[in-house]
Amino acid sequence: MTHSRSGAGASNAFAWSLLNTLVSRVGTLGIGIVLARVLGPDSFGTFAVALVALMAVLSFNELGVSLAIVRWPGDPAKIVPTVNTISVVGSGIFCAGAVLAAPAFTAAMGDPGATDVVRVLILSVFINGVVASPAALLQRDFKEKTRLGIDQVNVWTGAILSVVLALAGMGAMALAVGRVAGSLISGGIFLAASPLPYRFGLDRNQLGPLLRFGLPLAGTSIIFFAIGYADQLTAGSMLGPAALAFYVLAFNLSNWPVSILAQPLRRVAPAAFSTLQQDKAAMNSALVSVVAVLAAATLPLVMFLAGSAVSLVDLVYGKEWLPAAAALSWLVVAAVSRIFSDLAYDFMVVQGKSGTVFVVQAGSLLVLVPALAAGAALNGLPGLAFAQALVSSCVLLPLCLWQLSRTGVSVRALYSVVWVPALASMAVGATSLGLSGWLPVPWLELPVGAGIAASTAVVLLYWRRDDVKLLRKVGRREARPDVAELVP
């Protein structure tokens, strides 16, 4: 069976992915607020402990081989059965190991009562391994319209069930059960929507190339997880579950612009870049355009969050969550750095430089861990957030830019499309910070600040309209002839 890309294009996929994320994020914002207010910091902290465990195992559970489907230059039908076997067996082993290790992990995080929540939530690992190849095939074909339906089933099944169970008094377990239920139902839909029949196999000719490609990525993903969650691990182990709850709330708020705009673009970026692998100049130009669009769309919103941190947390979540505001202002800096570092990661992976990415991530982690510990010890939650921002912006991001320059990407070109949005966004942040003292009615502070940020983003996107047009052409190429193996 021959399978080729539909040619729908990255821009169409991005539009559907953006709609998917917007509906999910906006629709579940109210549910998240209800859960935070019903559960309170203690129960929310217990779930946060479990969620860290889940993310840890998900970072490497299918050994990195599913991304090979996205990058594969020829017919993916040749490798899908082998990928399925590796993913399911690997995720099953890691799921079982995580269940057994749950008591030790929760004790280290200072919340032994979270053990059962971890064990329930960790079942999502096996489900993720089963559906890894169908999800990768949909990503490869830019079928984000299909993903929209599947993801909405997942989000709303889990969210509604979690609210019902939380109101019934199940505490943190309500969130775990809801998440697993959503994953299970959406997993069944993933299998039904797979562009290729779901089959198992083990082609020894493909096994070696797949593992050579995937294992460095799996190792990198572990480091990537550690960089992304070392702050939460530090918060839980050094400051306790309640502090972890405050930190996670601030982290989630800081990631709103990342989730709404950057995450959909990242979902289609690897497949889009892979269509340009034979045209290095076009691939580099596409990266600069993506950076330009991301900077214009996300930076104003991120800086609005930084300037309005206290008012936002107080109004939306209540005064008992105000400690989260002390971390939020610093975490938005880390979020900005992560937007561009993650994009560089995707770009280098498509080029087959998974080993280089591993070195960059590992080097950053060596600096991050002691910095986080020192920040938490010296100044608690704000110190922890400051350390995360410092390392993300002054270590990880410069290392990524250095590696991009070694692949032929012009760092000067990247800087040229970022500095104007950066300056405009700083003005947005300063304005948001000062609105509380300027406006006669305090509750107007947030809508006025949000309006200024959104208007600034629209103006900047119009200014970069040529980059938006360029991205519309990405991904409209047909698949190339088959090759014998992946070239790491």
- The secondary structure of 128-172, three-state, reads HHHCHHHHHHHHHCCCHHHHHHHHHHHHHHHHHHHHHHHHCCCCH
Whether 11 and 475 have beta carbons less than 8 Å apart is answered as: yes
Give the pLDDT of residue 19.
62
Give the pLDDT of residue 35.
72
Give the pLDDT of residue 21.
59
- The secondary structure of 22-47, three-state, reads HHHHHHHHHHHHHHHHHHHHHHHHHH
One-letter amino acid at 330 equals W
Q: How far is CA 177 from CA 7, 12, 121, 170, in A?
A: 39, 34, 7, 10
Give the pLDDT of residue 12.
58
- The size of the chain, in residues, is 488
pTM, entire model = 0.70
Question: How far is 345 from 488, CA to CA, in rounded Å?
Answer: 15
Q: How far is CA 63 from CA 31, 91, 118, 399, 463, in A?
A: 33, 8, 21, 25, 41
Whether 247 and 384 have beta carbons less than 8 Å apart is answered as: yes
Tokens, residue 255: 């990631």
Domain ranges of the chain: 10-473
Question: How far is 172 from 165, CA to CA, in rounded Å?
Answer: 9
Q: Smallest Cα–Cα separation from 459: which of 263, 240, 297, 334? A: 297
Give the pLDDT of residue 215.
67
Q: Smallest Cα–Cα separation from 179: which of 32, 59, 362, 308? A: 32
Give the pLDDT of residue 7.
44
Question: How far is 214 from 64, CA to CA, in rounded Å?
Answer: 4
Question: How far is 402 from 353, CA to CA, in rounded Å?
Answer: 14
Question: Rounded to 10 degrees, what is the CA torsion of 217, 218, 220, 222?
Answer: 160
Q: Smallest Cα–Cα separation from 5: which of 137, 133, 199? A: 137
Q: Is the dihedral of CA 63, 275, 353, 417 positive or negative?
A: negative
Give the pLDDT of residue 213.
66
Give the pLDDT of residue 284.
82
Give the pLDDT of residue 125.
84
pLDDT in tens for each of the 488 residues of the chain? Answer: 445 444 445 555 556 555 655 666 665 566 667 777 777 787 877 777 777 777 666 666 555 566 667 666 667 778 788 888 888 888 888 888 888 988 988 888 888 888 898 899 889 888 988 888 888 888 777 776 787 788 888 888 888 898 899 888 888 888 889 889 998 999 899 899 888 888 888 877 777 777 776 666 666 667 767 777 889 889 888 998 888 889 988 887 887 776 676 666 666 666 667 666 677 787 888 888 888 888 998 899 889 988 888 888 887 788 888 899 889 989 988 888 888 888 887 788 777 676 677 788 788 889 999 999 999 999 999 999 999 999 999 998 998 899 888 888 888 999 999 999 999 999 999 998 888 677 766 678 888 988 999 999 999 999 988 887 766 655 444 433 333 332 22
For the residues of 213-243, what is the DSSP string, one character each?
Answer: HHHHHHHHHHHHHHHHHHHHHHIIIII-HHH
Question: How far is 414 from 118, CA to CA, in rounded Å?
Answer: 42
